Every structure is written in C-alpha cells, then in structure tokens.
Structure 1
Amino acid sequence: MITLETLCVRIGNVPAADVQGWIDNAWLRPEGVPGHYLFREIDEARARLIVELRDDMGVNAESMPVVLSLLDQLYAARRQMLRLREIISVPRESELRGRVRALLASMQD
C-alpha cells in the first residue's frame, strides 16, 4: 500500500488535488479516510489509466465516468469469459453443466 504523495509521484507527478478530485468523483476508491488514504496496486493502475485517458486521449471530466464505466464492464466481461473458458476445459460433462450453471448464476449478481 502506498500514500497519496507516493501515488502522485508514481503516476507522473500529478497534483494531489487532481487525485483528490478523482476520489471525490468515485473514480478511485482508496482505503482509509481523507488525509490518510492508502492505495493498492489496482488503485495505482486505475490512476495511470485516468491520466492516460485524460492526457493522451483527451477524455474530459464530463466523459470520464462513462469511459471508466465502459472499461469496467469490458474488464468484467473479460474475467467472466476467462472463467467460462476454464470451466469448459473440464472434460466431464456433468461437472461441466454444474459449473456452467453456477457461473451463469454468479453473472446475474
């Protein structure tokens, strides 16, 4: 886990006020409380994504929630497809049917 200051440096010397804005907009969800945030690797990766979308691709603040939501959905679908591929690779049909049913049930959450 890293602090806000460390995160800001690692993602390209982004001002802490920018990162605080991302937290306020729920684009980042660190652990802790204001003034004492702790960021995980996944938070750092998401912050890098936000910087890339903003700086390299020109995504503005109004569009960012939509873009992030679509990317989150894409990543979730990818994880589900990988799980489905794992299940399908099991050779026994009865076990396969049960796993597919369980996967489909979990996808409704």
Structure 2
Amino acid sequence: MMALEQVLAAVGRIDRRDLILWIERRWVRPQHEAGGYVFTDLDVARVTLIREMRDDMAIDDEAMPVVLGLLDQLYGTRRRLRHLVDAVAAQPEEVRRSVAAELRRRALGGDDA
C-alpha cells in the first residue's frame, strides 16, 4: 500500500492536482483513510496506465472514461475466462476431452455462439 505522495514519486510525470482529479472522476479508486488516500499495487498500475495513455497516446479527458470502461470490461472478461479455464481443468479427464472436442467443433464450424 502506498500513500499519495509515494504514488506521485513512483509513477513520475504526474502532479498532485491531476491525480486528485482522476480520483474525483473515479478513474482511480484508492481507499480513503484518516491519513489520506491509500493506493494498492493495482491502483498504482492504473495511475501509470492513465498517465501513459494521456501522455504517450494523447487520449484526452473526454475519451479517457470510455477507454477505461472498455479496458475494465476486457479485464473482467479475462478474469471470468480464467475462472472457466480453472473450472474445466478441475473436471475429470472425460469431461475435459468432451469440452475440448466441442471447442474444436465450434472453431472449425465457425460457430461463435
């Protein structure tokens, strides 16, 4: 866990005002405690991503919520897919073979359902 000033130092190329604005806009959602904001490693990674998208990719403040929303959806889908893969892996060999065969059938048949 990191305090706001530590995040600013770790991420670089971002000032306090911008980070506070991103928190107010809910682009980053650190915990708020008596001593101020507390950031997880995931929060710091998101701050870094926002800074890179803003500075390196020129994504403006109007587009940023759309891009972040799409990324959140993508990460959520990846997380659900990982759960599905783990659930299938926990099944008996016969079930795993059956699932693999069905996936091949759908891929070869072009069935995206």
TM-score normalized by the length of structure 1: 0.79
One-letter code aligned to 1:73: Q
Considering fraction of residues, name the structure with more strand: 2
One-letter code aligned to 2:31: E
Question: Following TM superposition, by how much is the alpha carbon of 1:13 offset from its aligned partner in structure 2, in angstroms?
Answer: 4.0
Question: Partner of 1:89 in structure 2?
Answer: 89
Q: More deviation in 7-16 or 25-34?
A: 25-34
Deviation per CA, 1:48-99: give whole Å up to 9, x if none: 0101110111100000000000000000101111111111123338x98xxx
Question: Following TM superposition, by how much is the alpha carbon of 1:33 offset from its aligned partner in structure 2, in angstroms?
Answer: 5.1
User: Once superposed, what is the RMSD of the aligned Cα atoms?
Assistant: 2.0
How many residues get paired? 95
Structure-1 separation of matches of 2:6 and 2:13 = 9
Return closer, same or farther for 1:73/1:87 CA change in 2, 3 Å cut-off: same
- 1:3-82 alignment, distance < 5 Å: 3-32=3-32, 36-82=36-82
Q: More deviation in 78-87 or 64-73?
A: 78-87
Structure-2 separation of matches of 1:34 and 1:59 = 33
Report runs of 4+ in structure 1 exceeding 6 Å deviation: none
Q: In terms of Rg, which structure is larger?
A: 2
One-letter code aligned to 2:89: S
Structure 2 unaligned residues grouped into runs of 5+: 97-113
* Equivalent position SS for 1:57: coil
TM-score normalized by the length of structure 2: 0.76
